[in-house]
Amino acid sequence: MKGTHFASRLRSVLLFTAAALLLQLHVVYAFADAVADAQSERVRALILKFENDKIDAEDFVVSLQAAASRELGEEGFAFEEWELRNQIGQALVHKTRFVLLNKSSAAALELKKAAKTILGPRHPDSKRIDRLVYVAERAEMLEASQDAVRMDSFSDEVTDDVESTIVNRRKSTMFHRMAQDANNFGTPTLAVRYLSEIDKNYWRDATPQILLHSLDLVAQKIRINPNSLNHWPFEDGNVKAVIKDLEGRDLSPQDRQTFNNAMADIFGYRLLYSLERGSVAQARDYYNRVLLYRADPNDANDALRFNAALSASGPEARAFATERIDELYARGGLSMTYRVKLLMAGYYGGFFPVVFYATLTLCGGIIVLALFKPGAIVMRRASGAARVRQARVRGSGYMHAHQAPDEYSRLLQLFGLDDRASKDEIKRAYRQLAKDYHPDRMQDKSAEEQAAATERFDELKRAYDRILEFKQSQFGSFTGE
């Protein structure tokens, strides 16, 4: 009986003890959950501050360290077991992406360091941040060196849209700077080419104005010296696209007039170029474009019609030019000066120019005989011959001073440059043109276009080598080198 009573009391004690232990464990777990919830809320609050730019990367790391020490009672960091660790990593990646899209790669170095400290170097988000910073640093290096070829190659190496956006923004900055430099160096056609390489999604607010300024500079060069425009980018698909985009924008009345006049002068120049080579179909197309941008009545269009008649080569081209002369006559713009020049160009039959030139020659001979005595003419010839002999005795320096600059200037004009161009400017212009006409870029063109491009490429190479010879010779002192 006593044994049974003792066993019953022992069982009761054991049950009570077990219940007490279970209650204690429940309290402990409840407290741990409360601590974890408090910790999670504090970490989430820190992430929110970090994402809203209220704290920087360094403060973010310090605040997380304080949270770990306060809540977990540990020294240093203890993030490996945190459920919010991936959320922290995503916040760091998001902030790194934002910084690299709007600032330089240097601004993201603290984020890269924070990722390694919090996540560890092997965490996927840490590796992602390393990759983004590398892409930005490489693109910035190529942007600084203005290496367009390697920048294009690097664009093909990116793996996703974020990396592509980072590279394209640096590429846009590079081409903007190159376009402005080209305008400053007097090669606006290169500026137009550079601007056409920029993806329209990465145009800046100033891009349309830079393009408009470049087109206006091209037109000015044509008005001053049509032969100075040796590079023609306006048949390139990218160039056509950016010009069409500019044309469709809401320009001010003054900018619209500048654009229309510039495009009319540009296509007017190409009209004369086509007539010189007998390309009537192209000439007619360019003529229609001129009228599209600059409608009649217009004195500039009348002057273009007259110059078209003088530039025409071949029967078909001259027939086209005759139509323009008829238009000029119908508008009452065929002045006496124009008539005389057209007469000398053979537009009124072949007999009249012969008679005209013979009459001018006869009248000139009579005037010379009337004004100068034969003895004086002989003496002047003799003195002229003496001056020539003296020049020859002085040696080749005289030839350098008078003939070399003419050839040097002509060679520079092939690259759209003048005598003030530096060696770096010449090299940059040569490389761009050589790239445009390189045979490797003509593989998909016709045989005729490939032959023309090869001939142009060889001409540019010879001209560049000759310019370097001038730079290294005594004549180099005339260029300011």
Contacts for 418-427: CB closer than 8 Å, 24+ residues apart: 418/186, 419/478, 419/479, 420/479, 420/480, 421/185, 421/186, 421/479, 422/480, 422/481, 423/471, 423/481, 425/185, 426/464, 426/467
pLDDT tens track, the chain, 481 positions: 555 655 666 666 566 565 555 544 444 333 334 444 445 666 666 676 666 666 667 777 777 766 655 544 444 344 444 567 777 888 888 888 888 888 888 988 888 888 888 878 888 888 999 999 999 999 999 989 988 889 888 888 888 898 999 999 998 999 999 999 989 988 898 899 999 988 888 888 888 999 999 999 999 988 888 777 767 888 888 899 999 999 999 999 999 999 999 999 999 988 888 888 888 899 899 999 999 998 888 888 888 888 888 888 888 888 888 888 888 888 787 778 877 777 777 776 544 555 556 666 777 777 777 666 544 444 444 444 444 344 443 433 333 434 445 777 888 887 888 877 887 888 888 888 887 877 777 777 777 777 787 888 888 888 888 888 777 664 444 343 3
Number of alpha carbons in the 13 Å side-chain half-sphere of residue 460: 24
- DSSP code, position 76: S
> How far lies 333's CA from each of 300, 307, 325, in Å?
11, 13, 9
Give the integer Cα–Cα distance in Å for 155 and 165: 10
Residue type at 16?
F
Give the integer Cα–Cα distance in Å for 215 and 261: 10
Model pLDDT, residue 395: 38
All structural domains of the chain: 16-138 (no CATH), 403-479 (1.10.287.110)
Q: Is the pTM above the cut of 0.75?
A: no
Task: Pull the structure tokens for residue 263.
Answer: 């495009």
Task: Pull the structure tokens for residue 158.
Answer: 């990116």
Task: Pull the structure tokens for residue 270.
Answer: 């190409």
Burial of 20 (0-12, 13-18, 19+ CB in 10 A): exposed
Phi, psi (deg, nearest 5) at residue 324: -70, -35
Task: Pull the structure tokens for residue 86.
Answer: 């991936």
